[in-house]
A and B are shown apart, each in its own frame.
Chain A
Amino acid sequence: MGKKRHNIWLILAALVVAIPFIPLVLWAFAGEWRFPELLPTEFSLRGWEQIISGGNRVPEAVLNSLIIGVAATAASVAVGLPAGMAIGGYEFRFKGAVIFLILLPILVPPLASTMGIHLTFIRLGLSDTVFGVFLVHLIPTVPYTAIILTSVFADMTGEMEEAARSLGASPWQAFRHVTLPQAVPGIAVAALFAFLVSWSQYILTVLIGGGSVITLPMLLFSAASGSDPVITSVLAILFALPALVVLVVALRFLRGGGDESGMIGLGKPS
């Protein structure tokens, strides 16, 4: 009996999680849906056709979002991996200060520093460019990556690496063939979340891109401020897709961990 009661709570939680998706999916395929009908009275693919036919600058926006997201991910892993190794694997002076510095951009809104740096970006010719947008996306993505990778390296004991070293492996060989393979799932998860954080950015892109660099959340935002729920819902679903893909992949990587406790380190990208 007890088991059943717990399942009821789980179903209730799943329902609450599902609520915002219900109107999104219904509207995305609605042809006509007047108030107060509970369900659309006609279905249509109008929104999807409009997007596939290149309306609303969707292909350009998706491409920009992908380019910036992939570049920010690659740079964040390149920068966050060594930082995660250092913080997770070693004790050193000022470690607390370094952790604070890396944590700060996650809790202090990146908009404040982006507004501050905007003038410099204009002077350097970085504003209104994809490269400039990529640079400011690093403000939130690098800290997330570094913190996830810190917990990855903190969980490693280093025993395997020591064993490899005592068997005559060079430091580089030990890293390349022992430590790195162990860290691959963690690196993959960090990369996926760096991509999501970049993909979700709206205001940093608006500010530095200055309207010249159009990304998907900008189209979603202007659609949501307008009056066509069909296009808004189609764009919202398109915008949510990578998150669902990331979720599936992350769960596969983390299945060894057992329950959800392994996922806390994933943080909360906005």
Chain B
Amino acid sequence: MGGRLKISLLLAPAVLVIGTLFVGGLYAALVQSLGYFPAIGQTEMSLSAYREVFSSGNFIDSLILTIYIAVASTVISTTLAVLGALALRRSSGTVSAVVFQIPITIPHLVAAVGIALVVSQTGLGARLASAFGLVGEPSDFPALLYDKYSIGIILTYVWKEVPFVALVVLAGLRGVASELEEVAQTLGANAWQRFWHVIFPVIAPGVVAASLVVFAFTFGAFEVPYLLGQDYPTILPVTAYNEYRSIELSDRPAAMAINIIIAVITALFAAAYLRLSRGLGRG
């Protein structure tokens, strides 16, 4: 059997499934975003849904909130992960593997519910604050759910994503970085010099790649903000979903246009991630 034919046959099922359901679904979303709805007699294509979306304050608010949540979650997760990995790199690999793997495998919804029961105004945090005499009534405790700053959402993402980034950093630290660091130490470099000139350059590509994944995920994820987010503005996927569920069929193209915008942005991050991780493989 020829090599090329064999490889094509091996790839065919996966390419077929992803091509039909994922690419096909995005194509259908694109066509609908252009206003093509034969079912309601709409066969003319136009960019009016995109014009409508970009000129609506609703979309802009939603976009800003989405970027804010994704940036905050990514920056906090990455910082904590690097610090955590540096602190934990000499501890037992097996134990830290278990500790880190728990948040990675636990579904986002469970994490969101658990965090909500900790930070709500009658949650564990408020009860502790009350035990220390800091608050009297539940309403004295700051509202961290359904709030303007999306604290509950960001906390859930940080809890879920720190271990993912930390595992990537730890792999880098346990490899070549520790040997180089010893050399630097023998040569008299202080702790900050060792971090900035030796460790950081080694772990940086992995850190950037992992934070791209976290950003793309928190930008496009639905469940956690749908459960813990405020009513307005909502993040882009929730806005798209609400438009889609609207009784007005004329809102459908706008919902699909938002979907396409989300897909384009996250696809750019996927492309950047791929470029970076292939560069890593070569190096």
Give A contacts to B, CB under 8 Å: 2-3, 6-7, 9-10, 13-14, 16-17, 19-24, 27, 35-38, 78-80, 82-83, 85-87, 90, 92, 96, 98-117, 119-120, 135-136, 138-139, 142-143, 146, 171, 196, 199-200, 202-203, 217, 220-221, 224-225, 229, 232-233, 236, 239-240, 243-244, 246-247, 250-251, 255, 258-261, 263-264, 266, 268-270
Contacts and interface: CB of A to CB of B under 8 A. Distances in A.
B105 A113 contact: no
27 contacts: A13-B88, A20-B115, A21-B114, A23-B123, A24-B114, A104-B18, A106-B270, A107-B267, A107-B273, A109-B237, A116-B28, A116-B30, A119-B28, A139-B22, A142-B18, A200-B108, A217-B109, A220-B113, A236-B110, A240-B107, A251-B101, A259-B174, A260-B97, A261-B171, A261-B174, A266-B104, A270-B221
Contact of B167 (A83, A114, A264): A264
A7 B91 contact: yes
B55 to A, nearest CB: 22
Given A2-B90, A107-B267, A138-B21, 19 more contacts: A10-B92, A13-B96, A38-B128, A38-B131, A82-B10, A96-B278, A111-B240, A113-B21, A113-B28, A116-B26, A116-B32, A116-B256, A119-B32, A120-B28, A200-B109, A260-B167, A263-B97, A263-B101, A268-B160
Nearest to B281: A154
Interface residues of B, number: 103
A251 B10 contact: no
B87 A9 contact: yes
B109 A239 contact: yes
A98 B266 contact: no
B18 A101 contact: yes
B99 interface: yes
Nearest to B121: A35
Given A36-B131, A79-B17, A270 B98 contact: no
Given A116-B256, A117-B21, A259 B220 contact: no
Contacts of A37: 127
B159 interface: yes
Contacts of A106: 270
A115 B257 CA distance: 11
Contacts of B25: 112-117, 139
Given A20-B111, A115-B255, A239-B110, A135 B237 contact: no
B206 to A, nearest CB: 9
Decide if the interface of chain B is mainly helix, strand, loop or mixed.
helix
B216 A107 contact: yes
A20 B115 CA distance: 5
Contact of B17 (A120, A142, A200): A142
Contact of A116 (B111, B138, B259): B259
Interface of B: 1, 3-4, 7, 9-11, 13-15, 17-19, 21-30, 32, 39, 84, 87-88, 90-118, 122-124, 126-128, 130-131, 138, 159-161, 163-164, 167-168, 170-171, 174, 213, 216-217, 220-223, 226-227, 237, 240-241, 244, 255-256, 259-260, 262-263, 266-267, 269-271, 273-274, 278
A255 B113 CA distance: 31
Contacts of A120: 24, 28
B29 A108 contact: no
A9 B88 contact: yes
B122 to A, nearest CB: 5
Contacts of B91: 6-7, 9-10
A117 B217 CA distance: 21
